[in-house]
Amino acid sequence: MKNTKKLFSRACRVLVGGVNSPVRAFRAVGGTPVFAAQGRGSRLTDAGGKRYIDYCLSWGPLILGHAHPAVTRAAVLAAARGATFGMPTEGEVLLAEEIRRAFPSMERVRLTSSGTEAVMSALRLARAATGRDVIVKFSGCYHGHSDGLLVAAGSGALTLGRPDSAGVPKAWARMTLVLPYNDVRAVETAFRRAGRAIAAVIVEPVVGNMGVVLPAPGFLETLRRLTARHGALLVFDEVITGFRVALGGAQERYKIRPDLTCLGKIVGGGFPIGAYGGRRDLMERVAPLGPVYQAGTLSGNPVAVAAGLACLRELRRRRPYGALEKLTRRLADGIAESARQAGVPARVQAAASMFTVFFTPDPVTDYASAKRADTKRYARFFHSLLEQGVYFPPAQFEAAFLSTAHTGADIDRTLEAVRRAFRAAF
């Protein structure tokens, strides 16, 4: 820990808050952030040499675990051929084909370097295609840090208590209509009142950024029906759920065909990649074919593409989703049972291999109910597990993840640490 403290104070003298992304700063849970030094499989080693079973997994990308041999080999070989050309390469075509094979709704694809870029571009396209300005989003959902979406945002913005970021022009915020997640009546009212002004509805089809919140039966279907009826577009932000809740993401699981989809995280195998895509008639409005400009020096970067392709091909070959879901269910049920036995009010909400422990007795269905969770208890839970070598996301309003590298023995060890945490910290 000494190393880490020294490293963090040195980091704070040059990096804002000592980190390159706010969620890493442990502001919600207190203490000094863990500095990673190495990862392998389900294990993470910090700068002080301490090892952890990792359930944060870099906030989602590492569904195959750290340093998967096929992904690492692909990236190293690609790098040796040249890191970037600023020219089309075959790998980008192969990755886009692999994405479309899993997401048939993505008839045309554009690769970017982050999920934020993918979402920002998809919404620019939605506004251009409809000639309308208003975007509907749901409070507590997070869609990256582009201006129009930092309104009632989840993830780090929610954790830091600043769901509406400073610096976002009021005009931008006025073009973002925020509704409660899972509130069908609110969506119907919004369309009744402003349907003709709404360009798109963007949604995390399964929310990760309030912690894991599932769509109520009929919610996604209502979004599909109302957007189609009013000439608005339905945008699924599957940056977390893509290749996570199924090979074809939430749209495969819930059998809903959105007009546009945004991807990130897993699609790059741990390297910087985002992607957006959808109906051909929409996507062909994007430059160079159409008037919607979007570009990127490292979009479709050959090294990232090679890693992403290796990752997606491994997922297609292994189809690990049943086994991942079973292991996640065992962990989630075990945590819930330990909380019950310890008399600690907790809800463990899971979807496939993503889950969240909320310290609240009630179901978490939207931002208001998520905010009722006891975040101080979460901080104590987090630190007790950290001490015992188990690394959960350092914030209540995030999702924890399993990978194909997690084993039954990892789950047993984790449940033992959870039992101790409930005894020691509650």
Q: Binding-site residue total for ligand KE4 (CB under 6 A)?
A: 21
Is 367 an active-site residue? no
Q: Could you tell me the smallest distance in angstroms from the CB atom of residue 310 to ligand KE4?
A: 19
Range 347-351 contact pairs with CB under 8 angstroms and sequence separation of 24 or more? 349/211, 349/212, 349/213, 349/214, 350/212, 351/206, 351/212, 351/214, 351/241, 351/245
- Token look-up 């914030």 returns 395
Q: Quote the CA–CA distance of 75 and 58 in Å, as a whole number.
A: 18
> Residues 6 or more apart from 123 whose CB is under 8 A from it?
135, 146, 148, 149, 199, 200, 202, 235
- Among residues 9, 21, 189, 407, the one that binds ligand KE4 under rule CB under 6 A: 21
CA angle 378, 346, 351 (to 5 degrees): 95
Q: Which is nearer to ligand KE4, 209 or 338 (CB)?
A: 209
Q: Kindly name the residue from 265, 276, 367, 410 that is annotated as catalytic.
A: 265
Footprint on residues 156-185 left by ligand KE4 (CB under 6 A): 156
Is 255 a known active-site residue? no
List binders of ligand KE4 among 111-150 (CB under 6 A): 114-116, 119, 142-144
Is 237 assigned a catalytic role?
yes
Nearer to ligand KE4, 46 or 238 (CB): 238
Distance, in Å, from the CA atom of 395 to the CA atom of 29, rounded to the nearest integer, reads 6
310 to 349: interface string for ligand KE4, x by CB under 6 A? ----------------------------------------
Name the active-site residue from 46, 52, 137, 142.
142
From candidates 53, 239, 364, 385, binder to ligand KE4 by CB under 6 A? 239
- How many other CB atoms are found less than 10 A from the CB of residue 421? 25
- To ligand KE4, the closest distance from the beta carbon of 374 in angstroms equals 20
Residue whose Cβ sits closest to ligand KE4: 115
Instruction: Return the half-sphere exposure (C-beta side, CA atoms, 13 A cut-off) of residue 375.
Output: 21
User: Contact with ligand KE4 (CB under 6 A): which of 209, 222, 227, 403?
Assistant: 209
Find the binding residues for ligand KE4 in span 361-420 (CB under 6 A).
398
Print burial letters for 372-411: b (CB count within 10 Å at least 16), e (below 16). Answer: ebbbebbbbbbbbbbebebbbbbbbbbbbbbbbbbeeebb
54 binds ligand KE4 (CB under 6 A): no
Residue 392 dihedral angles phi and psi, to the nearest 5°:
-95, 165
Given the rule CB under 6 A, which residues bind ligand KE4?
A: 21, 23, 59, 114-116, 119, 142-144, 155-156, 204, 208-209, 237, 239-240, 264, 274, 398
Q: Report, as residue numbers or ranges, the catalytic residues.
A: 142, 237, 265
